[in-house]
Structure 1
Amino acid sequence: MRDAVIVDAVRSPIGKRNGALSGIHPAHLSAHVLNELVRRTGVEPAEIDDVIWGCVSQVGDQSGNIGRNAVLAAGWPEAVPATTVDRRCGSGQQAVHFAAAGVIAGHYDFVIAGGVEAMSRVPMGSAGRDGRPTPDEVLERYGVDGFNQGVGAEMMAGRWGLSRRRLDEYSARSHARAAAAVDSGALDGQLAPVPGVLRTDEGIRRGSSAETLAGLKPAFREDGLITAGNASQISDGAGALLITSSETARARGLRPAARVHGVALAGDDPVIMLTAPIEATARVLKRSGLRIDDIGAFEVNEAFAPVPLAWQAETGAADDRLNPLGGAIAVGHPLGGSGAVLMTRLVHHMNDQKIRYGLQTMCEAGGMANATILELL
């Protein structure tokens, strides 16, 4: 029976809004990680059957099938096809799911999954009808004027009884863990530095504390809890993973890093919007026959601090296994690229620490979530 394995995974450093990467076209940023991936693995670009690329705001510089433009910008043969997918913040993770399914079905020998978002160049929300991508009938169904993730985060904090202090403490921890990962060299193997531009994640604020974050004003409600300090940063970045089967890897003398052990999806209330990772996690554990304690590392996207905290409260996941290298609050969340960035971080951390199982899940606009379990090889 065919399986799907990740041979290697790379990502760019994550640049902050209007920062070091803002001058780079997203096709060129994507091409950078594509070329680094084939350089590391020794697989020729002409052998790639498809490139599946995640991107959320597919307008402006990211329009016209950014995945295909990335392949051409990389200088690869015109025969290499590509497609671009959008499952909101989980687009890069969904690209991995599609790629793994294609390998298992026998449609691909080698496929690259990943994603990009250049939020400095293509602002969030650019791809809507007059700024409102949701049809009136859907808004009427839920009795709202629009869907807002920040308001959803406020609702989560209220539902799970999370105080401003708790959110800020978690956020300060994200910065501290990310800084420690940089200083220890834990990120070196996963990064594809952009020469002369950026070598490591740009958004980390060293010395952040709950006390300093307490001075920030609420962003979505006058008396709210969500601020710029306990939410993910607007960022630029890309990541890519080479996926094949164990059989093909053996035939080519490649040593895979991890197997895609199980995947799941979930949908939930699109108003609160951010709760679906809880159900997606339950589903992927059930399908995989694993318990939460079997998982040695979790990447739960830090779109807002209430997301991983509510998820942890419901799952009982160990604190030291949750986002051990920091997360999007510290380094940023380049939307369509984040799924690939998180999975790259997870694959390398599992290999460095000899962790058998890792789990990744992400909240997504519209009240959706992806969940993936990887197995170390």
Structure 2
Amino acid sequence: MHTAVIVDVVRTPAGRGKPGGSLSSWHPIDLAAFTLRAILERNGLESTQVDDVILGCVSQTGDQAMNIARQAVLAAGFDESVPATTIDRQCGSSQQAAHFAAQGIMAGAYDIVIAGGVESMSRVPLGSAWVDATPSPLIAGRYPEGLVNQGVSAELIAQRWGLSRADLDAYSAESHARAARAWEEGRFASQVISVGDAATDETVRPGTTVEKLGGLPTVFRTDELAERFPEVGWAITPGNSSPLTDAASAALIMSEEMANRLGLTPRARFHSFAVVGDDPLMMLTGPIPATHRILQRSGLTLDQIDAYEVNEAFAPVPLAWAREFDADPARLNPWGGAIALGHAVGASGTRLLGTLVAYLEATGGRYGLQTMCEGGGMANATIIERL
């Protein structure tokens, strides 16, 4: 079994995923190509040395259709011999891309892979890929009361774990404060590459306060849903949710032997993997069973993990996870999370990976855990070890 290592991770800044956002004028193919070129140039590689490119993308329609990974490889000027594929595991797409890359290396099928993701939510709105989809009679038969969107799932999680609106808003304000502090301290300098005039995450709001968040309206309550779920308090707002975001990210993953041969320094190795399915109504609780599974497989305890990146799709997700594991809040998304740093769904997995690697390096930590809730009730989990 080969050792799969992370040599480098890059990402664009996060642009607001709406017309006029800092990256909205960039075609998503070109945005992904920008990160692919950057990771080759930073590490002195030729594209012909890359065995495969695996990118995540959720809304694979419009400007993101036709296997956007292959389009990005060609747009980046890579040799035509370099293959590429696009995968969709919803919000965990690029985390899954990293899993596939690392597992292929460990099995000996690859030497060098670039894994990453892209999403332009300003140009290809979330949900546009399935806007004309018709419901499955079999699924309707299995869930006769109907499934719900992710915002309602977040409301159900807040209710089940006893999380108040004040809890959610306080957590969200802290996410912005941590992200703003990390930017001020230069923590993202090793991973963020400027794209034109965009150099920092447009989604971070340093002046966010609990009082300001408390004035925002809730967005997912309807009379029909309130009748169906009378116990729900309806606390999810734009302020305690991740914003629509444009971004791309990429990780250079290879065998340790190849890194040594090329004179490149591995920054971390992949230690353990897990992927699970979970209740599709609650939908966003998958990180909990995924964490249980990966800790069991790794032989580690949560106390041995120096940082946990639990994606902040909505504030109840990391808060419920933390309560379930009695996790140290100081280790949870210590440089802020998606509520502040943005959630360009196809790109978020490798964005979290880059943040985790950089945090372990900055603090001297050894192990990091990354987990991500995913549409349809799934979750990936990854443990890395700093080298």
TM-score when normalising by structure 2: 0.95
Structure 2: distance between partners of 1:16 and 1:334:
9
CA shift, 1:168, in A, is 0.2
CA shift, 1:13, in A, is 0.4
CA offsets per residue over residues 36-57 of structure 1, 9 Å max, x none?
1111111211100000000000
CA offsets per residue over residues 353-372 of structure 1, 9 Å max, x none?
21100000000001000000
Aligned match of 1:192: 193
Aligned match of 1:152: 153
The correspondence of residues 140-219 of structure 1 with structure 2, limited to 5 A, is: 140-195=141-196, 197-219=197-219
Q: Equivalent residue of 2:321, what SS?
A: helix
Gaps of 5+ in 1: none
Q: 8 Å contact 2:56–2:346 — kept in the other structure?
A: yes
The correspondence of residues 245-260 of structure 1 with structure 2, limited to 5 A, is: 245-260=255-270
Q: 8 Å contact 1:127–1:133 — kept in the other structure?
A: no
TM-score when normalising by structure 1: 0.98
Aligned match of 2:229: none
Aligned match of 1:65: 67
Aligned match of 1:277: 287
**AA at the equivalent of 1:330:** A
Q: Equivalent residue of 1:369, what SS?
A: strand
Q: 8 Å contact 1:8–1:257 — kept in the other structure?
A: yes
Gaps of 5+ in 2: 223-232
Structure 1: distance between partners of 2:44 and 2:193:
16
Q: Equivalent residue of 1:309, what SS?
A: helix
**AA at the equivalent of 2:72:** A
CA shift, 1:111, in A, is 0.4
**AA at the equivalent of 2:266:** P
The structure 1 residue matched to 2:22, chosen from 13, 20, 23, is: 20
CA shift, 1:220, in A, is 0.4
CA shift, 1:143, in A, is 2.1
Q: Equivalent residue of 1:336, what SS?
A: coil
CA shift, 1:145, in A, is 3.8
**AA at the equivalent of 1:7:** V
The correspondence of residues 27-66 of structure 1 with structure 2, limited to 5 A, is: 27-66=29-68
CA shift, 1:21, in A, is 0.2
Q: Cα RMSD (Å) of the superposition? A: 1.1
Q: Does 1:340 align with 2:360?
A: no
Structure 2: distance between partners of 1:248 and 1:240:
19
Q: 8 Å contact 1:361–1:371 — kept in the other structure?
A: yes
Q: Deviation above 3 Å: which 4+ runs of structure 1?
A: none
Aligned match of 2:239: 229
Structure 2: distance between partners of 1:60 and 1:134:
22
The correspondence of residues 219-368 of structure 1 with structure 2, limited to 5 A, is: 219-221=219-221, 224-368=234-378
Q: 8 Å contact 2:55–2:116 — kept in the other structure?
A: yes
CA shift, 1:252, in A, is 1.4
CA offsets per residue over residues 115-144 of structure 1, 9 Å max, x none?
0000000000011152x4652321331123
Change (3 A) 1:47 1:133: farther
Q: 8 Å contact 1:292–1:316 — kept in the other structure?
A: no
Percent identity over paired residues: 57
**AA at the equivalent of 1:46:** T
Q: Equivalent residue of 1:361, what SS?
A: strand
Q: Equivalent residue of 1:158, what SS?
A: helix
Q: Equivalent residue of 2:108, what SS?
A: coil
CA offsets per residue over residues 151-178 of structure 1, 9 Å max, x none?
0000000000000000000000000001
Structure 1: distance between partners of 2:335 and 2:63:
31
**AA at the equivalent of 1:8:** D
Q: 8 Å contact 2:147–2:280 — kept in the other structure?
A: no
CA shift, 1:146, in A, is 4.2
CA shift, 1:105, in A, is 1.0
**AA at the equivalent of 1:290:** L
Structure 1: distance between partners of 2:322 and 2:194:
32
Q: Equivalent residue of 1:286, what SS?
A: helix
Q: 8 Å contact 1:14–1:236 — kept in the other structure?
A: yes
What is the total number of aligned residue pairs between the two structures? Answer: 375
